[in-house]
Amino acid sequence: MQVHALSNAGLGRIVIKLSNPLQLFNTLDPAPFREKELATEAERYIADQAEDIAKAAPIQIVIHLAWAGSLDAIVPDLAPAVAQHFLLRAHEKSRELQVLFKSGRRSLIVGIAILSSCLAVGWLAGLVLGDGPLPDILRESFLILGWVAIWKPSEIFLYGWPAIVEQRRLFERLSAAVVVVAAVSEPA
């Protein structure tokens, strides 16, 4: 399989050359042809090439088949199968985002509770022990522990979700891509 991204006239084109249409799909997937998932390598190549295409440009996936078998039974199912695969991947990313935010909310509640407790214990240590290096060390130690407790929710809400949203958008774009199947005479 070879994949090339070409861009002409504002169209993002991904060209895939196959010797057998089944190369595009995961052969261990028992689902019917139209619902099969793409092979990991095929999905990765298509997604990598699509990332290089301008976000506003429509995507066209051109599949060149050099196959001796009958294309009549397979060609009508290729485009819906590719679209369905990327639509399912977009839904998976939406679900992953929901799970991430749920985990983030839970860890934020726990983190704020721990931070509040640590600040209170540090403040109490200062009141009970008075001034000096030991209360300062305890106060700062509890402050650091409290900030570490909110590290994970901060990471989730500040940095964790944008990559998932970007992947979901890419998969949505790919699910809407126009898939063209062309027969070629020489093997790929």
Cβ-count burial 53-81 (b if 16+ within 10 Å, e if not)? beeeeebbbbbbbebeeeeeebbebbbeb
Query: Phi, psi (5° rounding) for residue 109?
Result: -60, -45
Cα 24 to Cα 108: distance, rounded to the nearest angstrom: 42
Place 145 in a pLDDT band, splitting at 50, 70 and 90.
Answer: very high
* Mean pLDDT across 64-92: 81
For residue 139, give every residue at least 6 positions away whose Cβ sits within 8 Å of its Cβ, in sequence order, or none. 122, 123, 125, 126
Quick one: pLDDT band at residue 59, thresholds 50, 70, 90?
A: very high
pLDDT band at 66 (very low <50, low <70, confident <90, very high): confident
Q: What global pTM score does this model have? A: 0.76
CA 127 to mean position of chain CA atoms? 50
Structure tokens at 159: 């940095």
